[in-house]
């Protein structure tokens, strides 16, 4: 089988498995992306996410992360829910966290893709599956594989499908013909995401200060909130979708068909009073398989109490 035929067959297989797009590129050093990340880190925009300073060389070159890697296969998978959480008398959580933890769901789908690839090539030694759990520049590889462009809100945007996607990768020890052309930025003069960010985290086009981002503050940040007024949280207790919700490209967003990503009846029934009264057993039952576990009960309760306390004082 030629390199070109294999690439096309893998893309066809990925589509048949439900991925929204698939591309592949030669595994090499991401020079431009490394320079961007280094500049971002030099500004201190990562806040408490000190892990971003570790293993940087592996982040920039997949061949250092997994020896023998020759090709990076990148996929995107839609997570926009068919049913949104009720807005009235409710707090908000990011849409990606409505259902089961995406790490495990997407990894399983990528393993199925890998099995299909190995049915074509034979068993491949040294393959790896990655879903937001290792030093990999997810968006950079998605761009290189032709799956979208980086918007002014720093998210990956597919010009026909929006930005509500998970990104996953296969590192393969075989050479294949690249599939997917780099898509130029199509934000134009639009600044809706920058204008809508309540905390000013989007300091300029394509530049985000994580220390002011509601997603960072409600998930990664530890300790009390300082210098950010409660009115700026807009009822977000886990993550934030504001800069994506206002993006014109997300008019193309459609509800995904993955049952594991749909909100449970219990989550749909939650209202502010229920959130305020949420205890540890209730948290464990509600988010047993959810990405919300990253914040933990104490972290989520801190967020809820901060907003509820200040709401009560108005």
pLDDT value for 1: 63
pLDDT confidence band for 226 (50 / 70 / 90): confident
Average pLDDT of the chain, as a whole number:
95
pLDDT confidence band for 314 (50 / 70 / 90): very low
Q: Is 230 exposed, middle or buried (0-12, 13-18, 19+ CB in 10 A)?
A: middle
Average pLDDT (288-312) is 91
Domain spans, the chain: 1-308
Largest CA distance in the chain: 69
C-alpha span between 189 and 293 (Å, rounded): 38
Catalytic site positions: 132
pLDDT value for 50: 86
Average pLDDT (66-78) is 98
* Count of other CB atoms within 10 angstroms of residue 194: 20
C-alpha span between 274 and 194 (Å, rounded): 33
Average pLDDT (77-86) is 97
125 within 8 A of 112, measured Cβ to Cβ: no
C-alpha span between 47 and 50 (Å, rounded): 7
Query: Could you tell me which of 129, 142, 131, 72 has the C-alpha nearest to residue 96?
Result: 131
C-alpha span between 295 and 302 (Å, rounded): 10
144 within 8 A of 61, measured Cβ to Cβ: no
Which residues pair with residue 171 across a beta bridge? 72, 128
C-alpha span between 218 and 214 (Å, rounded): 6
pLDDT value for 311: 63
């Amino acid at each position: 089988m030629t390199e070109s035929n294999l690439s096309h067959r893998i893309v066809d297989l990925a589509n048949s498995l439900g991925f929204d797009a698939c591309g592949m590129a030669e595994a090499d050093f991401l020079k431009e992306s490394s320079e961007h990340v280094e500049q971002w880190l030099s500004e201190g925009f990562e806040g408490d996410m000190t892990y971003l300073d570790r293993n940087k060389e592996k982040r920039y070159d997949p061949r250092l992360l997994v020896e023998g890697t020759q090709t990076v296969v990148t996929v995107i998978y839609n997570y926009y829910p068919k049913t949104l959480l009720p807005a009235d008398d409710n707090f908000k959580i990011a849409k990606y966290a409505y259902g089961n933890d995406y790490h495990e769901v997407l990894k399983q789908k990528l393993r199925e893709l890998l099995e299909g690839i190995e049915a074509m090539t034979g068993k491949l030694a040294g393959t790896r599956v990655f879903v937001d759990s290792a030093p990999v520049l997810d968006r950079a590889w998605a761009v290189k594989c032709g799956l979208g462009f980086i918007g002014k809100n720093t998210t990956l945007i597919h010009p026909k499908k929006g930005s509500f996607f998970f990104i996953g990768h296969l590192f393969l020890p075989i050479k294949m013909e690249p599939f997917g052309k780099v898509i130029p930025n199509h934000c134009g003069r639009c600044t809706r995401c920058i204008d809508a960010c309540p905390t000013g985290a989007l300091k300029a086009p394509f530049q985000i200060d994580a220390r002011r981002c509601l997603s960072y503050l409600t998930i990664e940040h530890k300790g009390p909130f300082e210098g950010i007024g409660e009115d700026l949280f807009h009822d977000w207790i886990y993550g934030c979708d504001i800069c994506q919700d206002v993006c014109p490209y997300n008019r193309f967003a459609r509800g995904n068909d993955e049952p594991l990503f749909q909100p449970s009846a219990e989550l749909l029934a939650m209202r502010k009073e229920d959130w305020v009264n949420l205890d540890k057993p209730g948290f464990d039952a509600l988010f047993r398989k959810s990405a919300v576990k990253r914040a933990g009960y104490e972290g989520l309760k801190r967020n809820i109490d901060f907003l509820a306390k200040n709401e009560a004082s108005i």
